[in-house]
Amino acid sequence: MAELRRVAIVGSARTPFARGHTAYADETNLSLLATALGGLADKFGLKGEKIDEVMAGAVIGHSRDFNLAREATLDAGFSPRTPGTNTQIACGTSLQAALVLGAKIATGEIESGIAAGSDTVSDAPVVFGNKFQHRMIELSKARSAGEKFGAFKGFSFGELRPVAPSTQEPRTGLSMGEHCELMARNWGISRQAQDELAVASHRNAAKAYDEGFHDDLLVSCAGLVRDNNVRADTNIEKMASLKPAFDKSSGLGTLTAANSTPLTDGASAVLLASEDWARARGLPVLAYLTMGRVAGNDFAHGEGLLMAPTIAVSELLARAGIGFDDIDYFELHEAFAAQVLCTLKAWNDPAYCKDVLGRDAVMGVIDPAKINVKGSSLAYGHPFAATGARILGLTAKLLSTEPGKRALISVCTAGGMGVAALVESPL
């Protein structure tokens, strides 16, 4: 059996992220993804070049997005011989794409790949209910005038009411925010702790901008040159003034618009390759994607919708034979401040570690100074499918100047799933 090869992270590019219905009101999943991919091609001199596979997806998609990855690849200027594969696992989409492509590179199936994701709530599909859709199908099949009129027999104007996109979980009928409120209550997460984590995320992100960290990671799009959700001037007092966003009536709600990620538009892309492919083209190796894990939990029966990353990380570290003390940086996607805090608390809870993670001892406490040191989703925003690639690209750059370091990435997703990955810097 051939030895597995190391998977190099060459670099990344992304559009600035924009709050929904602001800078990208006229953009689409395709235009945003093509912009990110095109920026990656320009950055590494790959226009017209063949990449072995581009794997990308969107969570909120139109029917026209059926071949999104391929169309964006062509629009971005890569060789027509570059295939594009659509994929989707909610908020873990582009990180999962990186893991799949990484496995192909490691085994020698491909030499290069781009993992990417795009999402826009500003161009969300608006559809009609089933009854009117069925009428339209019957109308399309009608030949005579009588058949066409017959398709509207019993029609009422209420059928024209559009069905808005929903974040409700099909198995529970609750939104992600409502689920996270239940998690926060179950784990005893205070409003104060959530607001403090959110403030830290914004301050770390603002500092990263001031340091120039993002200068070579962003590709301007529709006139936007930086994320428009980062608030350098935010503070605890401002956070505390906001009312609960999901539980507005019980008096127990702790999740607000400020300690939850906003609806966001944007796209991200990460270039992965074998070391030989990168070196032959004079391209850098910022870091290595070394291992990954995807997990699910029984959220519909009380395990917590956004708690599956605890399982993914536990299984990943067990396989790697390492613990939290062996990790230098923790990049934990901040869907909600409460979700991060619940996760951290669970990893240090004896009963949870034994009953859910199957461990004899707790995983331990993580030093807050190692968590999201450049800020994360609460500050930058969260275009669902794009977040994993944003985090992976940021992590690779973070490790690129620090030999011998290791980072853990964790992303929660809808449907009670979690995606985790290990990234290591060059020696």
**Pairing label, strands 7-14, 264-274:** antiparallel
Helices (H), 27-87: 29-43, 68-75
382 is a catalytic site residue: yes
- 91: annotated active-site residue: yes
Q: Which of 324, 314, 308 is nearest to 406 (CA)?
A: 324
> Binning pLDDT at 50, 70 and 90, where does residue 128 land?
confident
Give the 3-state secondary structure of residue 86. strand
Given this model, what pLDDT does residue 370 score? Answer: 98
Q: Select which of 202, 214, 333, 382 is catalytic.
A: 382
Which of 180, 221, 353, 412 is flagged as catalytic?
A: 412
- The helix/strand/coil state of 247 is coil
Of 91, 221, 342, 353, catalytic: 91
Residue 291: what pLDDT?
98
Q: Give yes or no for residue 327 having a pLDDT over 90.
A: yes
pLDDT of residue 427: 82
pLDDT of 49 reads 98
- pLDDT attached to residue 1: 59
Does the pLDDT value for residue 161 go beyond 90?
Answer: no
Q: Is 214 a catalytic residue?
A: no
422, burial (CB in 10 Å: exposed 0-12, middle 13-18, buried 19+): buried
For residue range 274-284, list pLDDT tens digits in order.
999 999 999 99
